[in-house]
Protein backbone atom coordinates (compact mmCIF):
# COMPACT_ATOMS: atom_id res chain seq x y z
CA UNK A 1 0.00 0.00 0.00
CA UNK A 2 1.28 3.45 -0.79
CA UNK A 3 2.02 5.87 1.98
CA UNK A 4 -0.27 8.32 0.16
CA UNK A 5 -3.30 6.24 1.19
CA UNK A 6 -2.14 6.29 4.81
CA UNK A 7 -1.25 9.99 4.70
CA UNK A 8 -4.64 11.07 3.28
CA UNK A 9 -6.55 8.97 5.77
CA UNK A 10 -4.43 10.07 8.72
CA UNK A 11 -4.95 13.71 7.72
CA UNK A 12 -8.71 13.19 7.39
CA UNK A 13 -8.85 11.45 10.79
CA UNK A 14 -6.90 14.25 12.47
CA UNK A 15 -9.07 16.93 10.85
CA UNK A 16 -12.22 15.06 11.87
CA UNK A 17 -11.03 14.60 15.45
CA UNK A 18 -10.36 18.33 15.69
CA UNK A 19 -13.75 19.21 14.17
CA UNK A 20 -15.50 16.85 16.61
CA UNK A 21 -13.68 18.35 19.60
CA UNK A 22 -14.62 21.86 18.48
CA UNK A 23 -18.21 20.86 17.79
CA UNK A 24 -18.66 19.21 21.20
CA UNK A 25 -17.20 22.15 23.07
CA UNK A 26 -19.31 24.58 21.05
CA UNK A 27 -22.46 22.53 21.65
CA UNK A 28 -21.79 22.67 25.38
CA UNK A 29 -21.89 26.47 25.16
CA UNK A 30 -25.31 26.58 23.48
CA UNK A 31 -28.14 28.15 25.51
CA UNK A 32 -30.08 24.88 25.56
CA UNK A 33 -27.67 21.94 25.70
CA UNK A 34 -30.33 19.24 26.03
CA UNK A 35 -31.14 18.98 22.29
CA UNK A 36 -27.41 18.73 21.60
CA UNK A 37 -26.80 15.70 23.87
CA UNK A 38 -26.67 13.14 21.06
CA UNK A 39 -24.41 15.41 19.02
CA UNK A 40 -22.01 15.89 21.92
CA UNK A 41 -21.88 12.15 22.67
CA UNK A 42 -21.23 11.21 19.04
CA UNK A 43 -18.61 13.95 18.75
CA UNK A 44 -16.74 12.48 21.72
CA UNK A 45 -16.94 8.93 20.36
CA UNK A 46 -15.96 9.98 16.86
CA UNK A 47 -13.03 12.05 18.08
CA UNK A 48 -11.69 9.09 20.08
CA UNK A 49 -12.14 6.68 17.17
CA UNK A 50 -10.44 9.03 14.71
CA UNK A 51 -7.47 9.51 17.03
CA UNK A 52 -7.14 5.74 17.45
CA UNK A 53 -7.35 5.13 13.70
CA UNK A 54 -4.73 7.79 12.97
CA UNK A 55 -2.43 6.32 15.62
CA UNK A 56 -2.73 2.78 14.27
CA UNK A 57 -2.16 3.91 10.70
CA UNK A 58 0.82 5.98 11.79
CA UNK A 59 2.56 2.85 12.99
CA UNK A 60 1.24 0.64 10.16
CA UNK A 61 -0.60 -1.63 12.55
CA UNK A 62 -2.14 -4.72 10.97
CA UNK A 63 -5.36 -3.73 12.80
CA UNK A 64 -5.58 -0.37 11.03
CA UNK A 65 -7.87 -1.68 8.28
CA UNK A 66 -10.42 -3.07 10.74
CA UNK A 67 -10.34 0.05 12.89
CA UNK A 68 -10.74 2.25 9.81
CA UNK A 69 -13.87 0.31 8.84
CA UNK A 70 -15.34 0.98 12.28
CA UNK A 71 -14.14 4.59 12.14
CA UNK A 72 -15.97 5.07 8.83
CA UNK A 73 -19.22 3.87 10.44
CA UNK A 74 -18.69 6.12 13.47
CA UNK A 75 -17.94 9.13 11.26
CA UNK A 76 -21.07 8.50 9.18
CA UNK A 77 -23.22 8.37 12.30
CA UNK A 78 -21.66 11.56 13.62
CA UNK A 79 -22.11 13.30 10.26
CA UNK A 80 -25.79 12.32 10.21
CA UNK A 81 -26.37 13.71 13.72
CA UNK A 82 -24.35 16.91 13.24
CA UNK A 83 -26.02 17.47 9.88
CA UNK A 84 -29.39 17.77 11.66
CA UNK A 85 -28.27 20.97 13.41
CA UNK A 86 -27.96 24.38 11.76
CA UNK A 87 -25.05 25.59 13.89
CA UNK A 88 -21.95 26.35 11.82
CA UNK A 89 -19.79 24.15 14.04
CA UNK A 90 -22.15 21.21 13.53
CA UNK A 91 -22.19 21.69 9.76
CA UNK A 92 -18.37 21.93 9.66
CA UNK A 93 -18.13 18.78 11.76
CA UNK A 94 -20.56 16.93 9.49
CA UNK A 95 -18.41 17.84 6.47
CA UNK A 96 -15.20 16.68 8.19
CA UNK A 97 -16.90 13.46 9.27
CA UNK A 98 -18.13 12.70 5.76
CA UNK A 99 -14.67 13.25 4.35
CA UNK A 100 -13.10 11.05 7.01
CA UNK A 101 -15.68 8.30 6.45
CA UNK A 102 -14.83 8.28 2.76
CA UNK A 103 -11.08 8.10 3.39
CA UNK A 104 -11.48 5.43 6.07
CA UNK A 105 -13.65 3.29 3.80
CA UNK A 106 -10.92 3.46 1.18
CA UNK A 107 -8.31 2.55 3.76
CA UNK A 108 -10.41 -0.31 5.11
CA UNK A 109 -10.57 -2.03 1.73
CA UNK A 110 -7.02 -1.18 0.60
CA UNK A 111 -4.60 -4.07 0.47
CA UNK A 112 -1.63 -4.08 2.79
The mean per-residue pLDDT over the stretch 48-68 comes to 95
Q: Could you tell me what percent of the chain has a pLDDT over 90?
A: 88
Read off the pTM: 0.94
Q: Is the per-residue pLDDT at 39 higher than 60?
A: yes
pLDDT of residue 6: 85
Locate the domains of the chain by residue range.
3-109
CB-count exposure of residue 5 (10 Å: 0-12, 13-18, 19+): middle
* Residue 112 pLDDT greater than 90, yes or no: no
Chain length of the chain: 112
Class of 3-109 in CATH? mainly alpha
Q: Which of 66, 16, 68, 3 is nearest to 42 (CA)?
A: 16
Check residue 110 and give its pLDDT: 79
Taking alpha carbons only, the member of 49, 46, 65 closest to residue 6 is 65
Amino acid sequence: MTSDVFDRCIAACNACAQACAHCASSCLREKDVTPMAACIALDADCEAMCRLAASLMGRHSPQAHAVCALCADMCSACADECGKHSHAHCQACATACRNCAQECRGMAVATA
